[in-house]
Amino acid sequence: MQIVMNTGGIASTNAYLVADEISKQAVVFDAPDGTVAPLLDEAVKRGWDVIGLWLTHGHFDHVADHAVVTRRFPKARVLIHPLDEPKLRKPMSSMFALPFVIPARSADGLLSDGQKLSIGSMEVEVIHTPGHSPGHVMFYIPKEKVLIGGDLIIMGAVGRTDLPDADFGTLQESIRRVMELPDDTQLLGGHGDASLLGDERRENLYVREALGNG
């Protein structure tokens, strides 16, 4: 497995390109504004076929560049959870005034909790983790002990819950569920640096509170 990351956009959001080197299949995870083009260039350079854009949730800073991906790789399937697909269908309905236009589109497929996806020979499990957003999901690659996490746990903190369809109690339930994964699982969050779930368990005050260890 190869992982290439790029960070950018007005919210300093992370995008990831994950590839299976044997099959040369790759997937882009999240598409922040002005951020995915270098990842696509890298895919072309390495001879990887981008088969999908898999979205952790529908907030503007995670979907803005979706058309950039599908223009370069027309067969890339855009996947999102059904509870967040409305944000993809109406991306300019964000409560934030945006200095760019995000084209509306429907998903090519809808994600569900426990769903098994694949990138070449790598199995990827979808984990529904609402709270920050109703359709928020995380993508777990058990063989590699990697969790692409979106905005559930970020930068030693957690995703904001002051948005109209967010809920702090639900977010805490999602944290408890995710923290059942092994401590040596690498967390690739939607913002900030990578970490290990064990480090978040010990050092993240929000995670500690959710687990009853605050």
- Domains of the chain and CATH, by start: 2-210 (3.60.15.10)
What's the pLDDT at 94?
A: 66
Least confident segment among 64-78, 89-103, 113-127, 193-207: 89-103
Average pLDDT rounded to a whole number, residues 65-89: 97
What CA–CA distance (Å, rounded) separates 100 from 187?
30
Instruction: Of 129, 137, 133, 82, give the one whose Cα is nearest residue 108.
Output: 82
Task: Please determine, for residue 214, whether its predicted confidence score (pLDDT) is greater than 80.
Answer: no
Instruction: Of 213, 112, 210, 113, give the one whose Cα is nearest residue 170.
Output: 210
Share of the chain above pLDDT 70, in %: 98
E strands of 9-85, at which residues? Answer: 13-20, 25-29, 49-54, 77-80
pLDDT digits (tens, 9 = 90+) for 112-165: 999 999 999 999 999 999 999 999 999 999 999 999 999 999 988 999 999 889
Question: Do the Cβ atoms of 152 and 138 come closer than 8 Å?
Answer: yes
What CA–CA distance (Å, rounded) separates 47 from 171?
39
Strand partners, 137: 128
pLDDT digits (tens, 9 = 90+) for 158-205: 999 998 899 999 999 999 999 999 999 999 999 999 999 999 999 999
Task: Please determine, for residue 92, whether its predicted confidence score (pLDDT) is greater than 80.
Answer: no
pLDDT, averaged across the chain: 95
Q: DSSP characters for 163-202?
A: STT--HHHHHHHHHHHTTS-TTPEEEESSS--EEHHHHHH
Task: Please determine, for residue 96, whether its predicted confidence score (pLDDT) is greater than 80.
Answer: no
If pLDDT is split at 50, 70 and 90, which confidence band does 59 have? very high
Question: Do the Cβ atoms of 65 and 52 come closer than 8 Å?
Answer: no
What's the pLDDT at 155?
A: 82
Tell me the torsion sign for CA atoms 67, 68, 69, 72.
positive
Under 8 Å CB-to-CB from 22, ≥6 apart: which residues?
A: 120, 121
Write out the two tokens for 31.
């598409």
Write out the two tokens for 153.
């746990």
Tell me the torsion sign for CA atoms 213, 133, 119, 191.
negative
What's the pLDDT at 169?
A: 96
Question: Do the Cβ atoms of 69 and 31 come closer than 8 Å?
Answer: yes
